[in-house]
Amino acid sequence: MKVGIIGLGYVGLPLAVAFAEANTDVVGLDVNHRVVEGVARGESSVEDVPSERLAPLVGERIEATTDHARLADCDAVVICVPTPLAHRREPDLAYVESAGRSLAAVLRKGQLVVLESTTYPGTTRDRLLPLLEESGMRAGSDFHLAFSPERIDPGRTDHTIRTTPKLVGGLTPACLDRAAELYALICDDVVRLTSPEAAELAKLLENIFRSVNIAMVNELAMLADRMGIDIWEVIDAAATKPFGFMRFEPGPGMGGHCLPIDPFYLAFKAREFDFPTEFIELAGKVNLHQPHFCVEKVVRALNDIGRPARGSRVLLLGVAYKAGVGDLREAPAIRIGELLRELGAEVSYHDPHVDELPDLGLRSLELGEALSESDVACIVTAHPEVDYERVVAEAPLVVDFRGITRGIEAANLVRL
Ligand SMILES: NC(=O)c1ccc[n+]([C@@H]2O[C@H](COP(=O)([O-])OP(=O)(O)OC[C@H]3O[C@@H](n4cnc5c(N)ncnc54)[C@H](O)[C@@H]3O)[C@@H](O)[C@H]2O)c1
């Protein structure tokens, strides 16, 4: 068994390692030479895959390449390329299409092709299939085609690729069987769906569910702020209900490659059906406003101690989009930094996972120095390595957007 993986990023690299660790040979292909050279040296750029885990597999089980011809002798090829948004929040399928075209040129009879990139229902059938069939072969008979969404959550260790059920939707029953067989090598539980479209939409449902609930609790946080009620106490209280409630927390806004982007793939597709997806749009609007609300909180906190934002030294604590990782994609800290600068504040940051923040032209400062040289420290992302008691003790003023300081009482502390 040999599996080709197209795109060796946050999704493709862990998948390559999972197959290799299940004693399957892997051809890892990426168009980015730097990525391929890194993998070939056994160096991982994905935090969930330590280089110590990758290195012994490279050469033994994993071959990294930029050459599509190397995919020709794979039994299955899995596509894990980006699906970003283009202008006006419309899907950009250029990476999927480019991967599909390159694969069509080397596609061989009997191969299975699986798309894992998150996308709107119909992409596998309407966009990828025609490109692959330009090879002259027919899906379902000459080759097989399926969609199987990636459910990875960077930084999470309690659920792995093996223990997270894998959704699979095939173009035909035979396509489904082939794809289910493939993923049974690395997943304990493979869930069979009747079509690629159902699998595509299931992934979007998961992400939209989170986006809408985060927006709802963000909106309540703004209201609670105005009413003078502690939102964290309210959430803790509601979460004591043993049924019918699921905890979501407010924060500085949504980040990462998934939640700020994927829902708009569905909103776009829905327009073809004359269907306005109002929950998606509203959630996007509320979550996009959240960095503005956070900045307003900082300005008010400074005002309360008699300082204007202009000229104040503001430290952002944690700039990655979530705790425990160094991923800066769509990170709300960047927008917060920009908004503070527009007000004339001097912005700096400390993040144990991010050495450099090119969007703001900054480098991470050492924590002690950062705290002593700021007028206010804003906890944007609550990385577990940071000692928050120390932050509250050493910073003149702390504004906490994550509720990580719950349990600490101090006059210089303000929470979302
Ligand atoms: N990151 C996540 O947490 C996550 C979780 C679930 C699903 N997804 C989805 O998985 C897909 C991939 O996301 P990612 O985070 O791994 O992206 P990524 O940017 O980390 O990696 C994608 C890789 O694909 C390569 N690439 C681009 N075009 C290519 C082509 N034509 N041929 C070969 N390689 C190509 C890029 O060089 C890059 O290394 C997206 O659709 C995303 O929405 C991501």
**String of DSSP letters for 227-258:** HT--HHHHHHHHTT-SSS-------S---SSS
| Residue 400, token pair as written in the block | 């906490």
The pLDDT value recorded for residue 154 is 84
Full-model pTM? 0.94
Is 196 in contact with 139 (CB distance < 8 Å)?
Answer: no
Question: pLDDT tens-digit profile of 340-357?
Answer: 999 999 999 999 999 999
Mean local confidence (pLDDT), 57-82: 97
Is 353 in contact with 284 (CB distance < 8 Å)?
Answer: no
The pLDDT value recorded for residue 155 is 83
The pLDDT value recorded for residue 88 is 84
Residues with CB under 6 A from ligand 1: 6-12, 29-32, 35, 80-83, 95, 98-99, 117-118, 150, 152, 154, 257-258
SS3 27: strand
What's the 80 CA to ligand 1 centre distance in angstroms? Answer: 5
Residues designated catalytic: 258
pLDDT band at 145 (very low <50, low <70, confident <90, very high): very high
SS3 13: helix
The pLDDT value recorded for residue 47 is 87
Residues 6+ apart with CB under 8 A from 70: 4, 27, 29, 63
* CA-closest residue to ligand 1 atom 13: 82
Question: pLDDT tens-digit profile of 286-318?
Answer: 999 999 999 999 999 999 999 999 999 999 999
| Residue 65, token pair as written in the block | 């390449």
Question: pLDDT tens-digit profile of 235-249?
Answer: 999 999 999 999 999
Best mutation site among 77, 150, 167 for ligand 1 pocket (most ligand atoms within 8 Å of CB)? 150
